[in-house]
Amino acid sequence: MRTSLALFRSRWYVLGIVVAMAGWGLHVGALALAPISLVQSVIAGGLVLLTVTADRLFAHEVTRREWLGVALAALGLAFLAATLEGAGDAAHSDYEPARLASFLALVALAAVALAALSRERGRARGREAIMLGASAGLFWATSDTAIKALSGELGETGVAAIVFSPLAAVIAIASVVGLVVSARSLQLGKAVPVIAVTSVAANALTIAAGPIVFAEPFPDQPLGVAVRLSAFALVIFAAALTPAPVRAAHLEGA
């Protein structure tokens, strides 16, 4: 928490937070209008732009393995988009409370577990950063899923009912904790692999929430099912290809 507060002394960090808050507002609006899987698939495309920008404009070294991981993530997300035909006709905000609560609890517990395991004694800083990045992504997946559920109540209930909803508390806590964990992960690891893992973890789980929590339609044809499952496999494999370099972590420790 002390580190997160200290970061606000940096104008670049404050600018990043301002941009992030603006993007978050647009994100909430998109979730209120479209299925969560469609929204997150579009957002996940920013991962490719991130890598190109980091490599060309900010002189972050991007290895061939990391480029391959990003390319596979982009391919997997493209496959996901290809199987979403017809899913954008409605917002798909309806859910069963028990199923939503179970999903949020499982993802949040996984986020806490990753953050705790990252502190194992003797673990390289690079690996700790990757685990913290994945943890931050899971916290944000918890928040985004809760936002989607709460967005279905916009216009149907008063502002007070939304603000004091248990889902609002979940959104606030998961968002803030995710921000703190993400800040720590970026202190320890390289920007591109850490942000890639954070993005993949957040988007993969929120896309999965579409059919699992909000009953979004799944492809009817076996080919469509195979393509969607292949997409998830590609995204997970891509995350495995973007670890922070152990050699660089050892050099920093030395």
> Is the predicted pLDDT of residue 140 greater than 90, yes or no?
yes
| Domain locations in the chain as residue ranges | 2-253
What is the predicted pLDDT for the residue at 248? Answer: 39
pLDDT of the residue at 178: 93
Rounded to two decimals, the pTM is 0.73
Give the 3-state secondary structure of residue 211: helix
Residue 228 scores a pLDDT above 50: yes
Average pLDDT, the chain: 79
Residue pLDDT, tens place only, 69-91: 777 777 777 777 677 665 566 77
Does residue 61 surpass a pLDDT of 50? yes
Q: Is residue 28's pLDDT more than 90?
A: no
pLDDT score, position 250: 41
Q: Where residue 48 falls among pLDDT bands split at 50, 70, 90?
A: low
The 10 Å Cβ neighbour count of residue 239 is 25
* Whether the predicted pLDDT of 198 surpasses 60: yes
DSSP state string for 115-152: HHHTT-TT--HHHHHHHHHHHHHHHHHHHHHHHHHHHT
